Structure 1
Amino acid sequence: MSGVIQRVGVLTSGGDAPGMNAAVRAVVRKGIFHGLNVFGINRGYEGLIHGEIHEMSIGSVADIVLRGGTVLKTARSEEMKTLAGQQKALAQLRKLEIDALVVIGGDGSFRGAQTLAAQGVQLVGVPGTIDNDIAGTELTIGFDTAVNTVVDAVGKIRDTASSHERTFIVEVMGRNCGNIALQAGLACGAESILVPEIPYDLDEISDKLKRGHQRGKNHSIILVAEGVGSAYKIGEELHARSGFETRITVLGHLQRGGNPSALDAVIAAAMGGKAIEIILAGETNRMTAYIDQTVISRPLEDAYGNRRPLNRELYDLANELSI
């Protein structure tokens, strides 16, 4: 929006993800290090539209690097999907003479970012979502932490499953993507993993439970991604087929909270820092991406390319190990 970049905005949008604060901190401090004025935008695009914007300092991001959630807050914004809402957002940026914007979020957040980029805002997207479902990057901020949260929860559930000799069905997040269920299921040795990408057979799962019972196994853990269907209904059907008593645990938003893992904190810091480098280089409509253990710059449109398919080799391995 101006020839020389002096003022940069940063916002977090969509679902929160552990590590977002580390990314915000990196944007703010690296920006200030390079002589930029950095402005935090509260409540995502909703806050941008309504002018909830404040200048940030080195101290304003102190002690947040390992804090879960996002200090900038986040909100869904239906208004941002409208031309009128986009014009209001643009007017707020112009009012404060903000030259560039860093958007930390998922694909929906990136779509909002592209509408601003089309109006001349220098724009960089930082992929932050626990689902790890953004094309163009191998990892998104928050995914590793969410997987570890599920593994920790399942470890506790397995203790009571063993004590009571029951089958526990654990529902995890993943409406259209089974990455959390797959990686957590393999890590914790789940007997079955149900994901949206691959059809499942309840009769086959029931037979596996029966075979395990025959060889003396007194409990089982089944991980279900929410996009597969209701864990409660699946539990009822498995009980009808196998005769085994089932219990359901829906982890829900527990997976979004908590301090980021070391991996998420490092990736988030690297992506936030890379976002400032991209801005200083005069590039726009870009995204940061984690490829081969390195954070790089890619066209933002890559986020809408062909998403990496579910790792079928890991899925097959999990089935083979749970015979």
Structure 2
Amino acid sequence: MNRIYLQDDLPPSIATAVKTWSDRPDAQDSGSDTVYVVVDGAILGAEGMQRMHAAYGVAVQAFEATALADYEDLGLLLWPWRALHDGDALETLRTVMAGKPGVSFVRSKAALPTLCTTLAWLAAAQTQDGIPLYLRIGDTRVLSTLLLHVRPAQEVRLHDVIRAWAWPDRSGRLHSVTTEAMPAAHSAASTLVLDDAQYAVLFDAAEADMLHAGMRDVEAGWRDRRSGAQLHQWLRDLLKKMQALGIKQQKDQWAFVSLALRAPDGFEALPELGETWLRVRSGAAQLPEEIARWTDLQWTALERLAKSIRGTASAPPKGSI
């Protein structure tokens, strides 16, 4: 678990994909729209910032004149899309943001200060019960979930300024959404309030990344051969399996992932492990201790399953230590 983010590198084709998206005709007259590159400064880092400045000029700090001004270079940073496209066809961006989920593209009809104010409105959110949040909209893992779950009043506020938003998914493929006018809805209030359902969706979407963050310490020596996107999907599948087995405690989940890294696929369904899952689910034992007490019964069942899989298919190894 040696990678920081479960994100693949930006492919060379990203420049063409963004240009195609940015040049796409808009039914609402986008002739005066401007496309900006939005980068999360905290994910970019100081060295990446220097390289971006050298290649594309000084960035605009989106939060500079807002309540989030203290974030400075750790907040959202904006560059005109054309500066990157005409400069080096995004090569510097691709290099400094390789494997990092911190770059997206907005098409706006508004003046730059208005765009910055709207981005700050999105980031300075609060929960339904009034808890303030810094919503990391520069992080595409957060952004991609939020944009698919905005409420009508929130979309009215967005549409007044932002026509469309595009971002690379975990595999580097470009996705986008176009905001809608929503004439029947009133514009959202001066503070973005996430209702309980929105907050729950954002939390659920981050679960695999949070699990991975913990596993980076638990399995610091593990070198996984899957891509970031593949590993993310694998962890999401494991979370579903753990939910079905009733494995909820963090320590138990970490032990389950460590076991899954080494065990054959489908090991959790072995009848010989049924007593283990029952004891963990009931709270009678923790999984690390249960595994430590396994006898030849459990280990032989795992080896038998592994031999059966090897006999029917030649699967690539998951990784190594």
Answer whether TM exceeds 0.5 for this pair. Answer: no
| Higher RCO (CA 8 Å, separation ≥ 6 residues) | 1
Q: Scaled by the length of structure 1, what TM-score is found?
A: 0.28
What is the TM-score of this pair, normalised by structure 2? 0.28
**Between structures 1 and 2, the one with greater helix share:** 2
Give 1 or 2 for the bigger CA radius of gyration.
Answer: 2
